[in-house]
Chain A
Amino acid sequence: MNDLTKSPVDYSAFPDERGHFGQFGGRFVSETLIYALDELQEIYSQLKDNDEFQAEFDKDLAHYVGRPSPLYHAERWSRELGGAQIYLKREDLNHTGAHKVNNTIGQALLAKMTGKSRVIAETGAGQHGVATATVAARLGLTCQVYMGAEDVRRQALNVYRMKLLGAEVIPVTSGSKTLKDAMNEALRDWSTNVDDTFYIIGTVAGPHPYPQLVRDFQSVIGREARAQCLEMTGKLPDALVACVGGGSNAIGLFHPFLSDESVAMYGVEAGGDGVETGRHAAPLNDGVPGVLHGNRTYLMEDENGQIIETHSVSAGLDYPGVGPEHAWLKDLGRVNYVPINDHEALAAFRKTTRTEGIMPALESSHALAYVEKLAPTMSPDQIIIVNLSGRGDKDILTVADIDGITV
């Protein structure tokens, strides 16, 4: 194809009205849920361009979440790496400590509009569960959070945070007892209680319209970063870096830049013990297209189409699928998806803590580890923005455990 016939992709036109990003996305659910998804899509399409709704969302983000989050120039780290200037988008400074709350604020407003009195959520590391329990407490909604029994054990602190906030945490003992099984159980609950229950999905996956509306709520990250970068440096960044589990923080940062062709993008997947070992959570690097949890996307599965267990030091990235828009952006070649192993992420966790006095979540540490590789290949007049999607307090016990220390 030559330049005259090549037309740029209009990224804002996706998903299409049936929720497809090319061959990905869609609505692969049982018949019972179709009505609830139709209802959600109808309400969202009315509200997304409604000034009053947007004003309420923006007000909550400003006064409850504490936005805009800073864009911080990590000068010492940039100097040490001797390449590009590194800027951290500080989602870790949000209320509840991660980007997840941007989405739960938005979906809780939708729940309020639909008049449903109960919210449910799935959670892996517990950050989305905490963010959901938080908004439920504020709006006086009943809240139940499904969490794999294995994750309940690994993330005891967040389980107790949710309980303090008034939510009930339901351990899921089916299947592999992790995030994917929690999502199965949340979908089963929703099928049963569809009349009075709003399902707050935590990432840009699931059946349409979830990947779209979660992206829209999270895009505040990229809109702010774009404006902040222009104001601070007078130009756009040269590269964006974010970790990808389901991919909500990454799509939030990337989406407002997709049409800026000069901006390179890197989505960092959990390489676990190494992609070559098969023990990882990197479906965009080592998966195939398939159908799970309501959408078609890249999945980790065996030759018979069974979903396989994933491995990552970071519970928040320990998921066998990925948001369908990422699957599409991979196939389009717009975003590069790269793996970072557990030990590289842990090294970046320590490095950022010591160099900048900022303790990142292990999820975000995957993105930081890739910056360690990328920045030295670039020149000092170039700019990288990396999404510091969450703070590392929740991971202190995990890191101590790896160090052989009992806190």
Chain B
Amino acid sequence: MAYSDKVIDHYSNPRNVGTLDKSKRNVGTGLVGAPECGDVMRLQIEVDETTNTITDAKFKTFGCGSAIASSSLATEWLKGKTIDEALSIDNMEIVEELALPPVKIHCSVLAEDAIKSAISDYRVKNGLPALEESKAHH
């Protein structure tokens, strides 16, 4: 399979690989995908509660190059965004940025899902209702 230069770059030099302390109240964790499906993404955000801004984002992904690149890109985009801005990230933006082929669109869907799942976790921790069902579940 031919990967775009951007996918190869994110795969070779992934940004923000790591783990945040999930016990902290201002850290939201999203774990999406399943090992049998060949992709598991864990995306975490740390939020400044006064400004509602994402100050840090980390990921770990078990998956193909496109899945790794999608989650790596997502963490890059999340930093500095407000929660509302983060919620507006659409998987098709990831597809465009990384030039993902049609068979890899699900990787971007999973990344969007991971973002929403992390935000949902953060909301629940802070007494807000969870977000609705995400895109990938069907």
A, B co-complexed: no
Give B contacts to A, CB under 8 Å. none
